[in-house]
Amino acid sequence: MTIPHKTAIIPYLDELDELAQKMGAVNTVVRTTEGKLKGYNTDGIGFVRSLEEAVGGYLIKTSLYYLLVLVEQLVALPLLCSNKAIVM
């Protein structure tokens, strides 16, 4: 699924994976054995796998650390801009 559908589909799903919920975006939808539609976000996994293939080893661990720091900052940015308190 691509933008803008990654967010538009969320109201039509029965449940979200924890990562998709945190990211507020879905790019994969699966019908569960119970017949429910569950949304996942696999963008991060795909990025990490391609990074592992490209550089591997120590570089991937270092890169992931800085990527996680960046993601935390990007998630917090809208909250900072709205002048609301941030609790992490």
**Active centre residues (catalytic):** 6
The one-character DSSP state at 29 is E
d(CA 34, CA 10): 18
List Cα–Cα distances, 49 to 12, 38, 60, 73, 88, in angstroms.
Answer: 29, 23, 10, 22, 28
Report the alpha-carbon angle 33-38-39, nearest 5: 150
